[in-house]
Amino acid sequence: MGQGQARPAGALGIRRIVAAPLYGESPKGGWSTEIKPGDSIQTLIAVHTEGGITGHGSAFAPGPLVAAALALLEPLLIGESATEPERIAEKLHQNTFWFGRGGTVTHAISGIDIALWDILGQVTGLSVGRLMGGRHRERVMPYCSLLMEEPGAMAAAILRYREQGFRAFKIGWGPFGRRDDHRLDEAIVADARAALPPGGRLFVDAGASDAYWPNGLKWALRTADMLAAHDVGWFEEAVRPDALEDFVELRRQARLPIAGGEVLTRRQAFLPFLSRGAFDIVQPDATKVGGLSEQRRIAWTAQDFGVRYVGHGWNTALGLAADLQLATALPGVDLVEYIGGSAYVDGIVAAPFRLDGDGTLAIPDTPGLGVALDPDAVARFSPAAAALFDPEAAV
C-alpha cells in the first residue's frame, strides 16, 4: 500500500500475480524476422485475491519478460486492494519510471490493469463497460485483420473470412511496400477490394514499425493517393512510428484518413501526436499501453483533439474482450480489431465469439470482461495454465 493509505473495509487484497505465456500457435506477424508458432509473444495474466476472486488480463510481450516484470511489480501489489484498478495502475507507473517506462514493464502493467477491472466487475456485478462510463451500444463491428498476400491469394483469404460473416477487413504487412513495386501494392489492394461483400469496408496497414522499414514520406504520399482511389478507409503505420513530422505532413496532404499509435505506450507518449495533428485515427493497444485505465484516458483525450479512436487489437481473446468493453463505454466507437484465424482469440475461451448476420459482435454485459477462459484449451498453449485458475498451482 502507498504511504499513509489504508485498505478500505471489505476490499479484496491481492494475493498472487501469475504470467502464463502462450506457445504453439502464435500467428504470423509479417515481420522481417517472422514470428514462429512456438514463439511467445502474448502472455496471459491472472490476479488472484484473498477473497478467491480471480481476474484475467493479457500483455503483448514474451512470457519470460513478463515474468521478470512481475518480479519487479509484485512488491508493489501484494496486499493491495484489487478493486481500485486506476489507482493501482498509476502506483505501478509512478514507481517504475526508471525500469522500462513504456517497455515490457508497461506491457505487464497493461495485463494487470485489465485483470483488476475484471475483478472490479465481478465484485460489483457490473460489466467493465458500465463501470467505465455506461453502454453507448450493444454491438460493434469487428474488422478481420489479415496479412497481405500475393494477388489471387489475397482475394481467397478475404473470401474465406467473408464466408464466416466478416464485412470489414484490414490487410497489411506481407509484400506490401517491401518489393519496391507500386504496381504490386496496387494489385494486392485491388484484389482485396474485389473480394469484399457488398458494402464491405477495407483498411490498409503498411506496417512501418517493421524492422528496417525501407520507405519514407514520399512513398507514403504516393501510396496514400493510390489507396484513396480504391476507397480504402484508412492508411495505418504508413511511416516509421517515431517520425512525428512525417505523420503530420502525411495527414495534411493525404486524401484518406491516417491511422497510427499502436507502438506508443503510456498516455504521455500520445500527446505530441495528438496535439500536432499527426493522426485522424489513434490506435492504442490495451495490452501494451498500460491497460484499460490508460486506454480510456487516451481515447477521451483524442476526442478532445477531434481524433477518432479505434483500439489496436492484434493480441488475444482477453485483449478483444477489453476492446469490446471500451467500445461500449465510449461514444462514437464503431470498430474493433479481430485477428483472422488466431487460436489465441478463437481457441481459448469457453464460449467463442460469434458474429451476427450483419457482421457485428454482441458486447457482453455480464460481470467483468464478460468472457471466461477455458482451462483445458489454455493448457494446450501454456505450461503455466493451471496457475491462471488455481492460486496454489505451481508455474
Res. 6: pLDDT tops 50: no
Q: Please indicate, yes or no, whether residues 112 and 155 belong to a single structural domain of this protein.
A: no
* Predicted local distance difference test score (pLDDT) of residue 113: 98
Domain count, the chain: 2
Q: Please indicate, yes or no, whether residues 262 and 382 belong to a single structural domain of this protein.
A: no
Give alpha helix (H) positions in 340-384.
343-346, 375-379
Q: Please indicate, yes or no, whether residues 276 and 318 belong to a single structural domain of this protein.
A: yes
Per-residue pLDDT reduced to its tens digit, 327-366: 999 999 999 999 999 999 999 999 999 999 999 999 999 9
* Predicted local distance difference test score (pLDDT) of residue 344: 98
Q: Please indicate, yes or no, whether residues 187 and 265 belong to a single structural domain of this protein.
A: yes
pLDDT band per the 50, 70, 90 thresholds, residue 10: low
pLDDT band per the 50, 70, 90 thresholds, residue 9: very low
- Residue 280 falls inside a structural domain: yes
Q: Please indicate, yes or no, whether residues 255 and 300 belong to a single structural domain of this protein.
A: yes
- Residue 367 falls inside a structural domain: no
* Predicted local distance difference test score (pLDDT) of residue 4: 39
Which domain, by its residues, includes 36? 14-126+374-389
Percent over 70 (pLDDT), the chain = 97
Q: Please indicate, yes or no, whether residues 134 and 116 belong to a single structural domain of this protein.
A: no
* Predicted local distance difference test score (pLDDT) of residue 54: 98
Res. 7: pLDDT tops 70: no
Q: Please indicate, yes or no, whether residues 40 and 144 belong to a single structural domain of this protein.
A: no
Rounded to the nearest integer, the mean pLDDT of the chain is 95
* Predicted local distance difference test score (pLDDT) of residue 101: 83
Please report which helix (H) or strand (E) contains residue 221, including its range. Answer: helix 217-229
In CATH, what number is assigned to the domain containing residue 70?
3.30.390.10
- Residue 6 falls inside a structural domain: no
* Predicted local distance difference test score (pLDDT) of residue 100: 77
Instruction: Cell numbers for 100, please give them.
Output: 522500462
According to DSSP, residue 16 is labeled E
* Predicted local distance difference test score (pLDDT) of residue 177: 96
- Residue 7 falls inside a structural domain: no
Res. 44: pLDDT tops 90: yes
* Predicted local distance difference test score (pLDDT) of residue 93: 96
Q: What is d(CA 259, CA 237) in angstroms, rounded to the nearest whole number? A: 7
Q: Please indicate, yes or no, whether residues 252 and 316 belong to a single structural domain of this protein.
A: yes
- Residue 89 falls inside a structural domain: yes
Q: Nearest CA to 88 among 50, 53, 116?
A: 116
DSSP string over 108-175: HHHHHHHHHHHHHHHHHT-BHHHHTT--S-SEEEEEEEEE---TTHHHHHHHHHHTTT--EEEEESTT
> What would the mean pLDDT of 42-63 be, rounded to a whole number?
97
Q: Please indicate, yes or no, whether residues 93 and 240 belong to a single structural domain of this protein.
A: no
Q: What is d(CA 295, CA 117) in angstroms, rounded to the nearest whole number? A: 12
C-alpha 35 chain-centroid distance: 17
Q: Please indicate, yes or no, whether residues 139 and 45 belong to a single structural domain of this protein.
A: no
**What are φ and ψ of residue 349, in 5° steps?**
-105, 155
Q: Nearest CA to 170 among 288, 340, 311?
A: 340
Per-residue pLDDT reduced to its tens digit, 175-211: 999 999 999 999 999 999 999 999 999 999 999 999 9
- Residue 369 falls inside a structural domain: no
* Predicted local distance difference test score (pLDDT) of residue 133: 93
Pair type for strands 308-309 and 43-49: unpaired
Q: Please indicate, yes or no, whether residues 56 and 96 belong to a single structural domain of this protein.
A: yes
In CATH, what number is assigned to the domain containing residue 339?
3.20.20.120
Per-residue pLDDT reduced to its tens digit, 239-294: 999 999 999 999 999 999 999 999 999 999 999 999 999 999 999 999 999 999 99
Instruction: Cell numbers for 166, please give them.
Output: 466478416
Q: Give the amino acid at 162.
A: R
According to DSSP, residue 366 is labeled S
Res. 319: pLDDT tops 70: yes
- Residue 380 falls inside a structural domain: yes
Q: Please indicate, yes or no, whether residues 304 and 195 belong to a single structural domain of this protein.
A: yes
Percent over 90 (pLDDT), the chain = 94
- Residue 2 falls inside a structural domain: no
Lowest mean pLDDT among 6-10, 146-150, 327-331: 6-10
Res. 70: pLDDT tops 80: yes
